[in-house]
Amino acid sequence: MRKTKDQLRLEHLLTLIPEDKQTAGEFIIDEILFLKKPLRDSKKKLETGSTTDSTDVRNYDTLCKRYSALIKQLTDLLPKKPPQDDIDDLTAFIKG
């Protein structure tokens, strides 16, 4: 199965997470990817006006909150300080 852009981006983030937290990162990434389609479908349903049911609005709101919480959990796993190699690469690039 071909990987999506979202999968590739999230997998890249996983490489930045310290090894002792990668299992949690993998789980969070799986959940983010799982929620992506229902969130998109729910949003489309509300945008097109094909529903006026308050249950659909609550469902979208719940999905948004869960998705946002997962993104925060994932970013919290990232190191607070960028690796020195990245800083050195950036400095070298800036200096030309």
DSSP assignments along 9-49, one per residue: HHHHHHHHS-GGGHHHHHHHHHHHHHHHHHHHHHHHHHHTT
Supply 45's token pair: 């349903």
Q: Tens of pLDDT along the chain (96 residues)?
A: 688 888 888 888 888 899 999 999 999 999 999 999 999 998 888 888 777 678 888 899 999 999 999 999 999 998 887 656 666 666 777 675
CA angle 16, 31, 77 (to 5 degrees): 30
Task: Give residue for tokens 């020195």.
Answer: 84
Instruction: Provide the residue ranges of all domains of the chain, joining segments of one domain with +.
Output: 5-95
